[in-house]
Chain A
Amino acid sequence: MIFENLSITRIITHEVFERDNGRNIVPPVYGTSLVTLNPTGIDAFCCRIMDAMGRASRALEMAIVEAGASSACALADQLVDLDDALFVSNSSAAANKLTSAQGRRGLPGGILVVFTGSAGHPSKRIVGFIKAETHSGFTRQQDANGSISLQFLTNLLLTPQTKLYKIGIFVESDPSAAELENGWRAFIYDDQISASNKLSAAQYFYEGFLGCAFPETSARRTREFHDYTKDFIQGVDLPEEQKIDLHNALVTYLKVDQSPTVQTSVFAQSYLDDPALRDAYEQFMAQKGFPSTAIHKDLSDVTTALRYRKVSFSDDIKLIVPADKFASMIRMEAIEGEADGHGVVPTWTRITVKDRIRKQE
């Protein structure tokens, strides 16, 4: 749990703007002092971060590919050591960097929140960047005569609506590392990364602004996700019929679901009804060392495994079915077989194939 024991020490905000009609940069407005929040405000702020970055959230660990002097990672490395005054002034570089990364027109402006703090146990220093789009809403207002009315607010931000903010956090992993990219880890939450078909829309934030890319381990991790989840389903104490459904679900989740990420908590949420089973699955995956963050889905190492579903019986009897046809074409039921001489009733399997026989050898 990378973000356990989270605490935030300094926060500053800057405002960035959408490009004008000629695609020209509109200069950011810089914050000039630290933001002070009361304890409840700090808790709410941490909750927003945790919704996006905590265990079971859709955050991804990314590879830091840009670590030069003007990179976001270098800025983080610098900000974490600065005193408050320099933190305030130097953090404006983040606003400039985000503004120039928003190269396309139509990318909305918003508030850039830059913060430092620590997380983990033992705690590690962190530097975070949140781009929060403003939206509108209402607040309750009580008149002098006691009646209740609504007041319209146009500049709400960081409400629980996670679609409206993106977060990148750099976590210091090894202060003595020679290369910046080895001394820091990067985690990103962006609704557009995990939502289907919006990956390109997210690129300016994770790549242009934060200098990150999907890690090269994605294919291996996706393969591990498949293998471990399969192991879990095989080992779990459920009736075989339900296991068939879960195996089908795994194939569906990896092959049919259009989300560009895979994640244990999402699979658990979507396909495991019982909260106890969800917890057991996530613990199983954690024990295997599989991260609880989202993984960029790369199917190149699992294509073969996903092509066929195989069901084995004794005496080398096997049923092999194209994985994506299994759910629609095959029905399997456990039935009571004929009792043996001792009156013991064995379990047999009735297989229904929704087709006539096309060929025999």
Chain B
Amino acid sequence: MTESEIRTLWEAERPIYQAWSDYVRDRLVARLTELLAQQEPPGKISEFLKLPVQPRLKDAKSLVDKALFRDKKYGDPYAEITDKAGMRFVVLLSSHIRLVEQAILDDQDWEGSKDRDYEEERRARPLEFSYQSLHYVVRASRDIRLGAVTVLKGTACELQIRTLLQHAHSELTHDTIYKPKKAASPEVNRAVAKSMALIEAADDFFELVMRDLQSASKPVRDAIDALSRAYVRHIGIRPETEKSNVVVLDAFAEQMPADLTGQIESLILSKGYISERIRSRFDTHHLFRQPVILFAYLMAVSRPAEVKDIWPLTTAELKLVFLDLGISYDNL
């Protein structure tokens, strides 16, 4: 192919690749949102993706450059260059990378093939610390009509999946060290390898920390779940789940009853007016929109002095709980 043939073809097909890569991005984000919701604890896509996913198309100049002038020995350079369209997923942990991979493999609209897997590379070259990233190329598994364009079966899009740390490393090094044929100085290469080794170790620690944090916060999360379910059941409105829930339950970790759900049930059974009171303050009082308000009532009934002593939030709304229960807050 000549340079002008490549340019003409690419100008004609750009809208198709644009539509295709937007489509891939939207489906992956949607699938990831589902997968995250099923996790324990459920995750949010906005927190999961550390950078916005932005499909990018190669510009004609660099396509020509890659196809014809870099001595890459392509048979059909236009077809064989798979990163004409691509996007990058940047996440926090290496375990998150595998979740993105799962989303890629789940989709029937394309066939995903792994181009590069840093874990396999690690196993293959255990003594080397170099560029790490997971690369997939997805190709449309059938002709897909997207608005005004048709994406033909086999149309490719490249996906790179990395952790934040891998991304930082790659930003520093990728274009400067790996692309030129002429090697960087041994000192620079050594420094780059050292930082990748550090990044890999840090990633292991991040995973460890995340696991420990999640198992430490499990009782509180379970309690919030139980309280939220009870809230929906008795108040009939979906509660908010702001941070104050965690703050309160953390403060009362020692007082947490084993049978929380049962105790809330018998509280509402014996004092039905509590549901009414919560409903009536839902619109005007923040704390009454949180499931932990049920816990506040439960504790205040049996151990008011402790609640007053331990309560970690402002007291104005707690006083209303005491008021409803007929307890003189100031005299405790």
Contact = CB atoms under 8 A, between A and B. Distances in A.
Interface string A194-207: 00000000000000
A55 B306 contact: no
Contacts of A121: 270-273
Given A50-B329, A54-B327, A57-B331, A279 B322 contact: no
Contacts of A332: none
Nearest to B327: A55
A343 interface: no
Given A47-B319, A56-B331, A56-B332, A4 B306 contact: no
Contacts of B309: 275
A251 interface: no
B301 to A, nearest CB: 8
B52 to A, nearest CB: 43
B7 interface: no
Interface string B170-204: 00000000000000000000000000000000000
B312 to A, nearest CB: 14
A67 interface: no
Interface in B1-40: none
Contacts of A269: 331-332
Interface residues of B, number: 27
Contacts of A53: 328
A279 B305 contact: yes
A29 to B, nearest CB: 31
Interface string A112-124: 0000000111010
A43 B323 CA distance: 8
Contacts of B330: 51, 160, 162
A51 B327 CA distance: 8
Nearest to B301: A1
A160 B323 CA distance: 14
A52 interface: yes
Contacts of B273: 4-5, 121, 123
B332 A265 contact: yes
B325 interface: yes
B327 A56 contact: yes
Contacts of B326: 1-6, 50, 54-55, 119-120
Given A5-B271, A43-B323, A121-B271, A276 B303 contact: yes
A278 B305 contact: yes
Given A275-B308, A279-B302, A4 B325 contact: yes
A65 to B, nearest CB: 26
Contacts of A278: 305-306, 332
B323 A50 contact: yes
A275 to B, nearest CB: 4
Contact of B327 (A50, A160, A162): A50
A41 to B, nearest CB: 13
B328 A50 contact: yes
Given A39-B284, A121-B273, A4 B331 contact: no
Nearest to A43: B320
Contacts of A123: 273
Contacts of A51: 328-331
Given A1-B327, A279-B305, A50 B284 contact: no
Given A276-B303, A279-B302, A1 B323 contact: no
A268 B305 contact: yes
Interface in B187-227: none
Contacts of A119: 326
A283 B301 CA distance: 10
Interface in A44-65: 46-47, 50-58
A87 B330 CA distance: 32
Most A CB atoms within 10 A — which of B273, B277, B308? Answer: B273
B115 interface: no
Nearest to A266: B331
Contacts of A162: 330
A54 B303 contact: no
Contacts of A39: 284
B306 A52 contact: no
Contacts of B324: 4-6
Most B CB atoms within 10 A — which of A47, A50, A120, A160? Answer: A50
Contacts of A3: 326
Interface string B49-79: 0000000000000000000000000000000
Contacts of B327: 1, 4, 50, 54-56
B306 A276 contact: yes
Interface string A122-164: 0100000000000000000000000000000000000010100
B43 interface: no
B304 interface: yes
Nearest to B331: A56
Given A57-B328, A276-B306, A46 B272 contact: no
A55 B308 contact: no
Nearest to B271: A121
B308 to A, nearest CB: 7
Contacts of A265: 331-332
A121 B325 CA distance: 10
A52 B328 CA distance: 7
Contacts of A283: 302-303
A302 B281 CA distance: 48
Interface of B: 270-273, 277, 284, 302-306, 308-310, 319-320, 322-332
28 contacts: A1-B325, A2-B326, A3-B326, A4-B324, A6-B323, A43-B323, A47-B319, A47-B323, A47-B329, A50-B328, A50-B329, A51-B328, A51-B330, A54-B322, A54-B326, A54-B328, A54-B329, A55-B327, A120-B326, A121-B270, A123-B273, A269-B332, A275-B305, A275-B306, A279-B302, A279-B303, A279-B304, A279-B306
Q: Which 9 A-B pairs have the closest CB atoms?
A: A4-B326, A54-B328, A57-B328, A1-B326, A279-B303, A275-B309, A3-B326, A275-B305, A278-B305
